[in-house]
Amino acid sequence: MDRLPTLYISHGSPMTALDGREAGAYWQRLGPAIDATFGRPKAVLAISAHSLTREPVLLAAPKHEAVYDFGGFDEALYRMRYDAPGAPALAARVQQLLAAAGLPAHVVAEGGLDHGIWVPLRSLWPDADVPVLPLAWPPNWSPEQLYTLGRALAPLADEGVLIVGSGAITHNLRRVFAQGRLDTMDRPATPESSAFRAWFADKAGAADWDALFAYRSQAPHGALMHPTDEHLLPFYVAAGAGGGTPGRRVHDSLTFGDLGMDVYAFGERAGEVLAG
């Protein structure tokens, strides 16, 4: 197997599982493209905005199920399943890598995939036949700390493990809900969201990590697009795991006028990741 890239995926609303729009269609193409270009991953190490702990925790159950960590959505969502195998052996390897970097990591024989994990993976590999290892993480860690965590994980890309950070490139739900919900999914892009996403793509493409680490003060509308950090922070884990190479935006689309669905690839072969 060739060295894998690392990915940051904006997972959007849980409704993406039912109505994926442009992002969902891209995910459906992305899984087969990864298989064809790099070889099917032996496992996915998933860092989601919805699995948060005080210190890093690896969910090393032998089997996972979808967790419905949301409410008030279409009942069809709660009937969807994603019963993916776990990766207990990989958990020991990840714990070893983090320990070597002086980072704490706990392993628990528990499972479950939050919607930030199972919603996109259900489109990438719908048969749920790629093992998944969720890595829960501390939301109070800085972008620099999470980038360092990612750097410790970089050897996994040579071992057939696809590292995926899952969050949202913009995430201000108050602005979305102020405009309504499903009836505004196709609302035109707001200037604030467009400016932030363009700045982020430019700085990622230039590997300007100092600016990206300080996004709240340097990016246009940084604090507005992210009142809290947790949906953007998985970006830094994926970036660090990619070895500090420039980040390539391989997909950009939008829902509700504000919520970016951008996908980034990192690593020496990021340029070979399907764009569209």
Concatenate the DSSP letters of all residues of 139-155 into one string: TTS-HHHHHHHHHHHGG
Please state the pTM of the whole predicted model.
0.96
Residue pair 7/245 in contact (Cβ under 8 Å)? The answer is no
Alpha-helical (H) ranges within the chain are 21-38, 88-100, 115-124, 143-153, 173-178, 191-205, 209-213, 215-218, 222-225, 234-241
Residue pair 247/236 in contact (Cβ under 8 Å)? The answer is no
Distance of CA 186 to the CA centre of its chain: 23
Q: Given CA atoms 37, 40, 45, 50 in this order, what sign does their dihedral have?
A: positive
Q: Which helix (H) or strand (E) holds 240?
A: helix 234-241
**Distance in angstroms between the alpha carbons of the first and the last residue of the chain:** 24
Exposure on the CB side of residue 130, measured as CA atoms within 13 A: 26
Alpha-helical (H) ranges within 48-170 are 88-100, 115-124, 143-153
Task: Please give the pLDDT value at position 95.
Answer: 98
Query: Which domains does the chain possess?
Result: 6-272 (3.40.830.10)
CA distance 222 to 74: 31
Task: Classify residue 161 by its DSSP letter.
Answer: E
Task: Please give the pLDDT value at position 73.
Answer: 85
- Could you give the C-alpha distances from 205 to 65, 168, 173, 197, 244, in angstroms and in order? 36, 18, 27, 12, 11
Q: Which amino acid is at 212?
A: L
Q: What is the largest CA-CA distance in the chain?
A: 50
Task: Please give the pLDDT value at position 257.
Answer: 83
CA distance 251 to 263: 5
Instruction: Provide the Cα torsion 270, 274, 275, 276; round to 10°.
Output: -160
Instruction: Going from the first residue of the chain to its last (276 residues), give the mean pLDDT of each consecutive group of 10, the final group possibly shorter.
Output: 91 89 97 97 98 98 96 90 98 98 97 97 98 98 98 97 98 73 70 96 98 97 96 98 97 91 97 96
> Cβ–Cβ contacts within 10 Å for residue 73, how many?
17
191 SS3 class: helix
Task: Please give the pLDDT value at position 1.
Answer: 59
Q: Which amino acid is at 227?
A: P
Task: Please give the pLDDT value at position 174.
Answer: 76
Q: What tokens appear for 216 in the block?
A: 């709240």
CA distance 155 to 97: 8
Task: Please give the pLDDT value at position 256.
Answer: 83
CB-based contacts of 235, cutoff 8 Å, min separation 6 = 8, 165, 167, 169, 247, 264
Task: Please give the pLDDT value at position 255.
Answer: 87
Residue pair 258/177 in contact (Cβ under 8 Å)? The answer is no
Task: Please give the pLDDT value at position 179.
Answer: 61
Q: Which amino acid is at 130?
A: V
